[in-house]
Amino acid sequence: MPSEPTASSASSPATDCPPDEVAFLRSVLRAESGTLDRLADELDATADDWGRAIGMVADCDGHVVVAGMGKSGLVGAKISATLSSLGRPSHTLHPAEAVHGDLGRVRRGDVALLLSYSGETEEVVALASILAADGIPCIGISRDGTSSLGRLCAAHLTLGRVTEACPLNLAPTASTTAMIAVGDALALAAARRRDFDADAFHRHHPGGLLGAGLRPVVEVLRFQVGRNVAVVADTATVEEALAAAGDGRRAGAVLLVDGQGRLSGIFTDGDLRRLVNTRGAAALGGPIAEVMTREPRCLADTDLVRDAVRMVRERRVDEIPVVDGDGRPVGILDIQDLVAMKVVSE
């Protein structure tokens, strides 16, 4: 009598990917990337419309209101989020709900970005007609500028005829990829025209890894000169440098400076252990200049946390001196500070 399949074997998914499936996956990705390549190649012919659309978004005094039905609505939500991330206030509006009271969410000074691949989606076209009559400038993204949507918009970004990655040419795939890429390009170009820089990006992303990486490194310094970081002349002995460092809560390193007060070296707790283990306690009476790490890699006080993360990953250092524009130390960034911020792991 044949044995019954176990629950685990019956529910285990297939883990292999046969060659014909790999080929299919490759064809999907190439269909979508090919659509983007075509759009990039056609930019010269559509540059005027792009220029108008970018100007409308960059100069908008209110919100960029994004609307689309179905998959276009989902794409629109992502484009709206991108616009907000890049300093252009934006929200979405459901075209079908707009005529049932939600038109109150559109105000003078707003710009509407309307999405419909066919350009004939009834609810989107109706919304474009209402907004145009109310004097709200509209940007359309659809297959053809001669579509109903295209004719109602002050600027239109043409996707052209797209062959979907779906073998049946039915499910929106390459067309939604094209639409989202066009929306991203529009948002980025408008931000570029407004000189939206890293500082502005940080103000819009105060949380998460993006925000943490864009924080000035001096904002996260736990160990600061004049507070809990010893700065010692590089003419001192090891023992004198350790005495200057003191006891209690302090950094795991001493910073050494030359006669002009510029950083010349660093001596870490690890350096101390290695020195005593190899040469004995008598070595503490010797010059620290002979055992310090000379000209250590350091951060400028204008650098960002992301610069510190890059240095840690490339150099595998645990303590990074931070110096001012004249090369004078202002503090030490400890790798544990970056671990606590969750921008690096142990």
Whether 142 contacts 117, CB under 8 Å: yes
The average pLDDT across 183-189 equals 95
What's the confidence (pLDDT) of residue 11? 54
The average pLDDT across 191-204 equals 67
The average pLDDT across 64-88 equals 93
Q: Flag whether pLDDT at 329 surpasses 50.
A: yes
Domain ranges within the chain, ordered by starting residue: 22-196, 217-340
- pLDDT band, residue 6 (cuts 50/70/90): low
- pLDDT band, residue 2 (cuts 50/70/90): low
Report percent pLDDT > 90 for the chain: 57
What's the confidence (pLDDT) of residue 252? 81
Between 43 and 213, the higher pLDDT residue: 43
Encode pLDDT of 70-79 as tens digits. Answer: 999 999 999 9
Extract the runs of DSSP E, i.e. beta strands, from the chain.
64-68, 90-92, 111-115, 138-142, 155-158, 223-224, 231-233, 253-257, 263-268, 293-294, 299-300, 319-323, 329-334
The average pLDDT across 312-329 equals 88
The architecture of the domain spanning 22-196 is: 3-Layer(aba) Sandwich (3.40)
Encode pLDDT of 274-284 as tens digits. Answer: 999 999 988 89
Whether 149 contacts 120, CB under 8 Å: yes
- pLDDT band, residue 119 (cuts 50/70/90): very high
Give which of 178, 170, 171 is closest to 42, Cα–Cα. Answer: 178
CA dihedral (335, 338, 339, 345) in degrees, to 10, reads: -90
pTM of the model: 0.60
The CA–CA distances, whole Å, from 264 to 15, 171, 207, 303, 312 equal: 57, 64, 36, 20, 20
Encode pLDDT of 35-59 as tens digits. Answer: 999 999 999 999 999 999 999 999 9
d(CA 292, CA 266) in angstroms, rounded, equals 6
- Average pLDDT for the chain: 87
What's the confidence (pLDDT) of residue 205? 47
What's the confidence (pLDDT) of residue 128? 95
Q: Flag whether pLDDT at 141 surpasses 70.
A: yes
User: According to CATH, what is the number of the domain 217-340?
Assistant: 3.10.580.10
d(CA 318, CA 316) in angstroms, rounded, equals 7
What's the confidence (pLDDT) of residue 112? 97
Whether 107 contacts 91, CB under 8 Å: no
Burial (Cβ within 10 Å: 0-12, 13-18, ≥19) of residue 326: exposed
Encode pLDDT of 282-305 as tens digits. Answer: 889 999 999 999 989 899 999 888
DSSP single-letter state for residue 224: E
Q: Flag whether pLDDT at 338 surpasses 70.
A: yes
Encode pLDDT of 105-116 as tens digits. Answer: 899 999 999 999
- pLDDT band, residue 341 (cuts 50/70/90): confident
d(CA 104, CA 188) in angstroms, rounded, equals 28
The average pLDDT across 155-181 equals 90
The average pLDDT across 121-132 equals 95
Between 127 and 216, the higher pLDDT residue: 127
Which range is most confident: 125-139, 188-202, 303-317?
Answer: 125-139
* Plot region of 208 (φ>0 → left; ψ -120 to 50 → alpha; else → beta): left
Q: Do domains 22-196 and 217-340 have the same CATH topology?
A: no
The average pLDDT across 188-198 equals 82
